[in-house]
Amino acid sequence: MHKHHNGLKTAVLFGVLWAVLLCIGGLIGVGTRSSAPIWIFAAIGLATTAYSYWNSDKIALRSMQAYPVTEAEAPGLYQIVRELSQRAGQPMPRIYISPTPAPNAFATGRNPQHAAVCCTEGILQMLDARELRGVLGHELMHVYNRDILTSSVAAAVAGVITSVAQFAMFFGGGGGRDNRNANPLALLALALLAPFAATLIQLAISRTREYDADEDGSQLTGDPLALASALSKIEGGVRQYPLPQEQSLVNTSHLMIANPFKRGGGLTTMFSTHPPMKDRIARLESMAGRIGR
C-alpha cells in the first residue's frame, strides 16, 4: 500500500497533545504545589485507552445494535470481504449488519486478527456491488493501518487534557496560601483553550486517517471512482436518515465512513470528525485520473 508516513504524523500530533498536557500539569503544580493530580489523570487516561482499545469492536457493534450474519445470509457481502482480505493478505474479519436505514459502514477491532466489518441495512439497499466493494476496501484499510489504536489513544489523551484543564480552572482561582502563586486568568484561559486544542488535534488525526483510508482502499480495490460514487450516495442518504446524537453513537461515529449525524454549517462542519465529502470525492476522482480509470 501507499506510504502516508502515518507513524511520523501520529508522533507529531501526539507530541503536541502531550505537550499541552504537561503544560497544564506544570501550571497545576505551581497552583497546588503538587504534581499528584496530573499523574492521577494520566493514569485514568491510560486505563480508559486500554479498555477502549481492547474492547473497541464490542463497544462499536453494541452502539449500532449490530448482529452477526453468516455467509448463507449475506453471500454477496461475504464474497466481497473475502476477496479484498485475500488480496490484502489479511485474515477474514467477522461480518455484521446494523438494522438501521441510515447508510453507513465501519470496521473495528484492535488488529486484523480481531477485526469486524459492519454495514447498515440502509447502505446495503442503497449501493450496488461495485460501490459496496469500494466502501469495504476503505473500511478494511482502517484496520490494516491500525487506525483503531491511533483514534483510541488520541481520544483518551484529549479527554485527559480536558479533565485536567477543568481541574486547573477549579483549583487555580482560589485565594488560598497554597495557590497564591497561580495566575487565575492564565489558568482560566488554559482551561478553556486546552480542550479546544486537544479536540482540534484529535480531529486532525481522524481526518488524516479518512483521506488515507480512501486512498489505500482505492488501491486495494483498484477502483477509486466506485468509492467516489458511493460517498456521493451516502451523503444524500445521511441527510435523509441521520442517526440520533446519542452519546454511544457519538463515541462510535469517528469509525464510520461518513458523519452519521445531521449536519449544520460553519463551526459544525469545522468540528466534524470527517473531512468534507466533496474534498474526498475530488481526491478520488483525481486519483482515478492518475491511474487512467
Does the pLDDT value for residue 247 go beyond 70? yes
Where do the DSSP E strands lie in 112-180?
A: 116-120
Q: Give CA–CA dist 106/135, Å, rounded.
A: 9
**Distance from CA of residue 278 to its chain's centroid?**
19
The residues, ordered by sequence, that sit 6+ positions from 218 with a Cβ below 8 Å of its Cβ are 134, 137, 138, 224, 227, 284, 287, 288
Answer for the pair 108, 148: CB distance below 8 angstroms, yes or no: yes
Instruction: Enumerate the domain spans of the chain.
Output: 56-146+205-291
The pLDDT, as a whole number, for residue 251 is 75
pLDDT, tens digit (0-9, with 9 covering 90-100), for 276-286: 999 999 999 99
Of all residues in the chain, the percent with pLDDT exceeding 90 is 43
Q: At 234, is the secondary structure helix, strand, or coil?
A: helix
Position with higher pLDDT, 217 vs 171: 217
Answer for the pair 116, 92: CB distance below 8 angstroms, yes or no: no
Catalytic residue annotation: 139
Calculate mean pLDDT across residues 68-96. Answer: 96
At residue 108, φ and ψ (nearest 5 deg) are: -150, 175
Question: Shortest CA distance to 136 belongs to which of 105, 112, 102?
Answer: 105
The pLDDT, as a whole number, for residue 175 is 44
Does the pLDDT value for residue 45 go beyond 70? no
Answer for the pair 292, 143: CB distance below 8 angstroms, yes or no: no
Q: Give the long-range contacts of residues 94-100, CB within 8 A, separation 24 or more.
A: 94/68, 95/68, 95/69, 96/61, 96/66, 96/67, 96/68, 96/69, 97/66, 97/67, 97/69, 97/121, 97/124, 98/64, 98/65, 98/66, 98/67, 99/65, 99/67, 100/64, 100/65, 100/241, 100/243
pLDDT, tens digit (0-9, with 9 covering 90-100), for 127-169: 999 999 999 999 999 989 888 767 766 666 666 666 666 666 6
The pLDDT, as a whole number, for residue 53 is 72
Domain spanning 56-146+205-291 has what CATH number? 3.30.2010.10
How many residues appear in the chain? 293
- Measured between alpha carbons, how far is residue 69 from residues 72, 75, 92, 96, 99 in Å? 8, 10, 14, 6, 12
Q: At 116, is the secondary structure helix, strand, or coil?
A: strand
**Distance from CA of residue 120 to its chain's centroid?**
18
Q: Give CA–CA dist 94/276, Å, rounded.
A: 29
The residues, ordered by sequence, that sit 6+ positions from 240 with a Cβ below 8 Å of its Cβ are none
Max mean pLDDT among 225-229, 258-262, 287-291 falls in: 225-229
Answer for the pair 195, 161: CB distance below 8 angstroms, yes or no: yes
Q: Give CA–CA dist 27/280, Å, rounded.
A: 41
